[in-house]
């Protein structure tokens, strides 16, 4: 089979590694890919948002399956363009990807179908939002309705912060049109867990759990980022919690989307908060998490193409989804200063060290191949993942492997997976 991966981050590199291990794949392409993916796939310089060019390329190369990685093209309907052209694509249609594209949509869906989540109100008028806040309980959470690179969520400790947040989102439009509408949500406390699920429109199969560290600095300090590291599985996601989520969250979400005429095919990412009152949905995403994919996929035993094909064909119930009985930790190597200002263009050394090491991976996120070699080209540069027989060993292995890589202004958190010490 010929397979095209749309995207060029660490998540797509993790997908590419898994595809390259598939017995069904003869040739792999990526658009636009990156310097790491280029070792496994032929990369073509087409934007993830350019549906016409992507479809034309897939036709020209006789691509059998296209996998769309990022949220933006899914929410914009790039999967629909493939389907309309009679091409097979893995990723939800636009009318289903709205579960990530609009927080108001997902909150209304959960309310209508009794899926556990925080209490909320939706506002498209700043004055109404401000007067609602006057009597609301603090802390409180403000969320831009639309996509905002994972940064459109503001946790506000008091009324002043909340009012300033409404101004940031709705009046100053820091996230553009994404803030035309906002969700104001009850603040929840508990452990966070990410569970990524394969979906075929009717059936849903959760993968092993993972946890992300979103803040830039150790001890969950600093600004929110796209994610500074992950571990899998989460020791807090017990069998009882899994059973509850399957019955009350995952399958009900599939059924709700079907009932709305929005059959969801692809990856449904359930961001959960394990509260005292039980698990509740923080957010849905319509794709693999980044960097959750970098710890979940290396532990997956199945052939990823077989699973994705089963999703497209509505036969996911025939798949026995299996994960290794071990653990993985991913530490993001970032450019110092991320997520604000940072320099790039520094030569990266040590990448080859990973070539002959089983159970170790270096996923490229912000890198570029130049005549000087591979250089840094973004805030999140690389994801260093290692497996181990348990989380402690996986963490020790991952931090050891971070030492193999060097570049000027290399920055990482030193406490990825540390929550497990409290166990
Ligand atoms: P989201 O993009 O919706 O996952 O939100 C980003 C982060 O904000 C989450 O990972 C949580 O840490 C936090 N968050 C979102 N919603 C809530 C909530 N209702 N209560 C507490 N924290 C929240
Ligand atoms: N790591 C969080 C996300 O991919 O949305």
List beta partners, residue 123: 182
**CA 387/CA 48 separation, integer angstroms:** 31
The answer, yes or no, to whether any atom of ligand 2 lies below 6 A from the CB of 292, is: yes
Distance 249 CA to ligand 2 centre (A): 19
Our mutation pick for probing the ligand 2 site, out of 213, 226, 286, 332, counting the most ligand atoms within 8 A of Cβ, is 226
Ligand 1 geometric centre to CA of 153 (Å): 7
Counting ligand 2 atoms within 8 A of each CB, the residue from 212, 284, 288 with the most, and so the one to mutate, is 212
Q: DSSP secondary-structure letter at 167? A: I
Q: Nearest residue CA, atom 3 of ligand 2?
A: 289
The residue whose CA is least distant from atom 16 of ligand 1 is 282
Length in residues, the chain: 423
Our mutation pick for probing the ligand 1 site, out of 138, 143, 155, counting the most ligand atoms within 8 A of Cβ, is: 155
This prediction has a pTM of 0.96
- Ligand 2: which residue has its CA nearest to atom 2? 289
Distance between CA atoms of residues 344 and 363, nearest Å? 18
- Beta-sheet strand order (sheet of 204-206): 204-206, 191-200, 265-275, 278-285
List of the chain residues with pLDDT < 50: none
Q: Is 119 exposed, middle or buried (0-12, 13-18, 19+ CB in 10 A)?
A: exposed
Burial letters for 34-47: b for 16+ Cβ neighbours within 10 Å, e otherwise?
bbbbbebbebeebe
Minimum-distance ligand to the CA of 282?
Answer: 1
Please give the pLDDT value at position 226. Answer: 86
Element (H, E) at 217: strand 215-217
pLDDT at residue 224, rounded to an integer: 84
Ligand 1 atom closest to the CA of 212, numbered from 1: 10
Q: Going by CA atoms, what residue is nearest to atom 5 of ligand 2?
A: 289
Among the listed residues 26, 76, 37, the one whose alpha carbon sits nearest the alpha carbon of residue 54 = 76
Q: Ligand 2, residue 288: give the atom nearest the CA.
A: 4
DSSP letters along 93-150, please? -HHHHHHHH-HHHHHHHHHHTT--B--EEEES-HHHHHHHHHTS-SSEEEEESS--TT
pLDDT at 177: 86
Give the domains, in start order, of the chain with CATH numbers. Answer: 2-93 (3.40.50.20), 119-186 (3.30.1490.20), 191-318 (3.30.470.20), 327-422 (3.90.600.10)
Instruction: Ligand 2, residue 292: give the atom nearest the CA.
Output: 1
Paired strand residues for 380: 334
- Return the closest-CA partner of residue 281 out of 113, 165, 138, 77: 113
* Nearest listed ligand to the Cα of residue 152: 1
Hey, is 342 helix, strand or coil? coil
CA 283 to ligand 1: nearest atom: 3
Distance CA 416, CA 399 (A): 9
* Cα–Cα distance measured from residue 367 to residue 103, given in angstroms and rounded to the nearest whole number: 31
Q: For CA atoms 86, 87, 90, 93, give the dihedral sign.
A: negative
Which pLDDT score, from 0 to 100, does residue 423 have? 54
Could you tell me if the CB of 150 is within 6 A of ligand 2?
A: yes
pLDDT at 152: 86
C-alpha 287/C-alpha 284 separation (Å) is 9
pLDDT for the residue 151? 75
Query: What pLDDT, on a 0 to 100 scale, did the predictor assign at position 179?
Result: 85
**What is the per-residue pLDDT for 421?**
65
Percentage helix, strand, coil, to 5, in the chain? 35, 30, 35
Angstrom distance (rounded) from CA 201 to CA 148 = 26
Q: Tell me how far the alpha carbon of residue 150 lies from the centroid of ligand 2, in angstroms.
A: 7
Contacts of 333 (CB under 8 A, 6+ apart): 380, 381, 382, 383, 384, 402, 405, 407, 410, 411, 412
Closest listed residue to residue 31, CA positions, set 14, 12, 59, 10: 12
């Amino acid at each position: 089979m010929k397979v095209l991966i749309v995207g060029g981050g660490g998540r797509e590199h993790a997908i590419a590694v898994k595809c390259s291990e598939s017995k069904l794949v003869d040739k792999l392409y990526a658009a636009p890919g990156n310097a790491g993916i280029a070792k496994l796939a032929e990369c073509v310089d087409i934007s993830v948002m350019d549906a016409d060019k992507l479809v034309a390329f897939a036709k020209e190369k006789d691509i059998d399956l296209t996998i769309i990685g990022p949220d933006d093209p899914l929410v914009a309907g790039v999967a629909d363009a493939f389907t309309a052209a009679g091409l097979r694509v893995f990723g939800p249609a636009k009318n289903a990807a709205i579960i990530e594209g609009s927080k108001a949509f997902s909150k209304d869906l959960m309310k209508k179908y009794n899926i556990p989540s925080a209490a909320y109100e939706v506002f498209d008028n700043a004055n109404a939002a401000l007067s609602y806040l006057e009597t609301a309980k603090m802390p409180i959470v403000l969320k831009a309705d639309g996509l905002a690179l994972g940064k459109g969520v503001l946790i506000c400790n008091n009324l002043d912060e909340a009012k300033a947040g409404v101004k940031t989102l709705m009046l100053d439009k820091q996230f553009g049109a994404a803030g035309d509408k906002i969700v104001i949500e009850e603040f929840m406390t508990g452990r966070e867990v990410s569970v990524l699920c394969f979906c075929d429109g009717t059936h849903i199969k959760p993968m092993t759990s993972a946890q992300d560290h979103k803040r830039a600095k150790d001890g969950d300090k600093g600004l929110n980022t796209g994610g500074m590291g992950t571990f899998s599985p989460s020791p807090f996601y017990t069998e009882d919690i899994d059973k509850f989520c399957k019955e009350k969250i995952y399958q009900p979400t599939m059924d709700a989307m079907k009932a709305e005429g929005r059959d969801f095919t692809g990856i449904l990412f359930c961001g959960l908060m394990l509260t005292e009152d039980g698990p509740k949905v923080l957010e849905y995403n319509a794709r693999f998490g980044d960097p959750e994919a970098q710890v979940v996929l290396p532990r997956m035993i199945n052939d990823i193409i077989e699973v994705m094909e089963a999703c497209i064909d509505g036969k996911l119930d025939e798949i026995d989804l299996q994960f290794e009985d071990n653990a993985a930790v991913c530490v993001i190597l970032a450019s110092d200063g991320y997520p604000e200002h940072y320099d790039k263009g520094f030569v990266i050394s040590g990448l080859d060290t990973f070539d002959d090491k089983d159970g170790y991976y270096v996923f490229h996120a912000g890198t570029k191949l130049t005549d000087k070699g591979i250089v840094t080209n973004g805030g999140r540069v690389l994801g260093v993942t290692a497996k181990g027989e348990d989380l402690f060993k996986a963490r020790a292995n991952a931090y050891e492997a971070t030492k193999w890589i060097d570049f000027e202004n290399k920055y990482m958190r030193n406490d990825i997976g540390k929550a497990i010490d409290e166990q």
